[in-house]
Amino acid sequence: MPSSRRQFLTRAAGTGVAVALAGSVDALFAAQPAAGTSGPPTGYGPLLPDPDGILDLPRGFRYKILSREGTIRPDGLPVPSRFDGMGAFRARRHGARLVRNHECSPTSRIKVQAPPERTYDPGGAGGTSTLVIDRRGNAESEYVSLGGTAINCSGGPSPWDTWLTCEETEAKAGDTGYTKDHGFIFEVDPYDDRRNEYPTPLRSMGRFQHEAVAVDPHTGIVYETEDAFVAPLGSFYRFLPEQPCRGWGSLRAGGELQALHVPDLPDLSVVQEAGEVFGGVSWMTVPDPLATSESVRAQDYPKPITGGYKIEGAWWGERDRCVYFVSSFARTELGPAMNHDGQVWKYNPRRKTLRLEVIFTRPTPGPENPEFDAPDNICMSPYGGLMMCEDGIGDAYMLGTTRDGEVFHFARNRVNNGTPSEPAYGELAGVGFSADGRTMFFNIYDPGMTIAVTGPWNRLRD
């Protein structure tokens, strides 16, 4: 994300990143039951250089570019810029359907152009594209499913197979050409584009710098992350819907937005040891979800809400019925109390506990390109462990976690990386798997590319 990247490149340098994982994270490293395997113990082997200079992968894996920024679609319009979060859905006749965010602002290279009936605000440049993938893994069609939104960053799938796309902004009508307030979540149907006409913001879910969502399919509770990079720290929220899991449009019925409170933990960055658990978690009702006068994170709560720097990716773990979320990094000069290069947290709704599962740390001073840093979008692999998209300094990788608690490189972006002195938006984003587990989909942010990776996922490397 451009705003996060510019902030990130001001961080202090470090050396020798260390990845610490909690000692008994079965839900991270055990496969989903349908996969029938416990996943790679040490990853898939070294990355092989791609002669085309796009993506380095382990032996036996292949990639296919499904969509490129600037390509002219059949409707005569170019594919928009800034490929970010994405949801992968089962196609009704094999293949897959992808709904991809475009994190576009009025200054973006190629803005989202949508018909008037699928445009929320004519002044908005963001939105979503829907791709239809056939049974051979080719993109057979692509179209804009939402337009007129702003800075569509990440989001998440709903249990009823729609995409909840999130605006990462707090812009109001009158700001930089906008005619309506922004900072909302919108629902996009990957199958019936008629439902995407006359876009409706889900106002009760809050107006803030949204990043990602994860939905508990058993209760319908929606967990929301806030990627705030100016004080005060962003928080982690939950939305209690009036009509849980009722299908398309049910979230429009409203509900209650609440912010996280962890006793004696106002700042997630102070936790530096994986496996540390905090009990007594409670939730504070947000007084003004629409943030009419001040940001939701800055409002008056009975108890202090818990914050974190750049709270980004989120994922519902069905195996343990817990929600995972990421604090991408923290640096004291930007507001947090302590430094880290990425945290993955787990909230257990039944036990009301919060546990640090993964932390990337580095001592200072030292080199400026750590081996692992800045996890962003995440998903569970059907073969065990997490897949994490990097949005950090230098080379951008897709990271995986093994059954034994190790982090490994799965893919390297060769298209557009950067350094602190020469910034580039080489981040990877939008990772997810097809319903049959055979294909991993993700995006290269800039220049935008949507990629499908296939290969020997069941292969175990010693």
Inside any domain, residue 253: yes
* pLDDT attached to residue 402: 76
Examine residue 447 and say whether the peptide bond preceding it is cis (omega within 30 degrees of 0): yes
* Spatial separation of the C-alpha atoms in residues 253 and 160, rounded to whole Å: 16
Does residue 407 carry a pLDDT above 70?
A: yes
Distances (CA, A) of 44 to 328, 388, 411: 25, 15, 10
* pLDDT attached to residue 41: 64
Tokens 């319903």 -> residue: 435
* Spatial separation of the C-alpha atoms in residues 447 and 445, rounded to whole Å: 6
- pLDDT tens for 240-280 read 999 999 999 999 999 999 999 999 999 999 999 988 999 99
Q: What is the mean pLDDT of residues 202-206?
A: 98
Q: What is the mean pLDDT of residues 197-224?
A: 98
Question: Which of the residue ranges 286-300, 348-362, 366-380 has the most confident prediction, judged by mean pLDDT?
Answer: 286-300
Annotate 375-406 with b (16+ C-beta within 10 A) or e (fewer): bbbbbbbbbbbbbbbbbbbbbbbbbbbbbebb
Please say whether the beta carbons of 58 and 450 come within 8 A: no
Inside any domain, residue 459: no
Inside any domain, residue 66: yes
How many CB atoms neighbour CB 190 within 10 A?
Answer: 25
Confidence of residue 388 (pLDDT cuts 50, 70, 90): confident
Q: Rounding to the nearest 10 degrees, give the CA dihedral for residues 67, 72, 73, 76.
A: 170
Inside any domain, residue 462: no
Please state the domain count of the chain: 1
Confidence of residue 37 (pLDDT cuts 50, 70, 90): very low
Ranking 55-64, 199-208, 409-418, 420-429 by mean pLDDT, the lowest is 420-429
Does residue 149 carry a pLDDT above 50?
A: yes
Please say whether the beta carbons of 330 and 12 come within 8 A: no
Inside any domain, residue 289: yes
Q: Rounding to the nearest 10 degrees, give the CA dihedral for residues 142, 145, 148, 149.
A: -100
Radius of gyration from C-alpha coordinates of the chain: 20
Residues 6 or more apart whose Cβ sits within 8 Å of residue 76: none
Report the SS3 class of residue 73. Answer: coil
Inside any domain, residue 461: no
* pLDDT attached to residue 24: 36
Q: What is the mean pLDDT of residues 169-194?
A: 96
- pLDDT tens for 335-366 read 999 998 889 899 999 999 999 988 887 655 44
Assign residue 65 the CATH number of its domain.
2.120.10.30
Does residue 8 carry a pLDDT above 50?
A: no
Q: What is the mean pLDDT of the chain?
A: 87
Q: What is the mean pLDDT of residues 127-140?
A: 95
Q: What is the DSSP letter of 397?
A: E
Domain that holds residue 157: 2-454
Report which of residues 89 and 384 the model is more confident about.
89
- pLDDT tens for 416-425 read 765 555 555 6
* pLDDT attached to residue 405: 64
Please say whether the beta carbons of 376 and 429 come within 8 A: yes
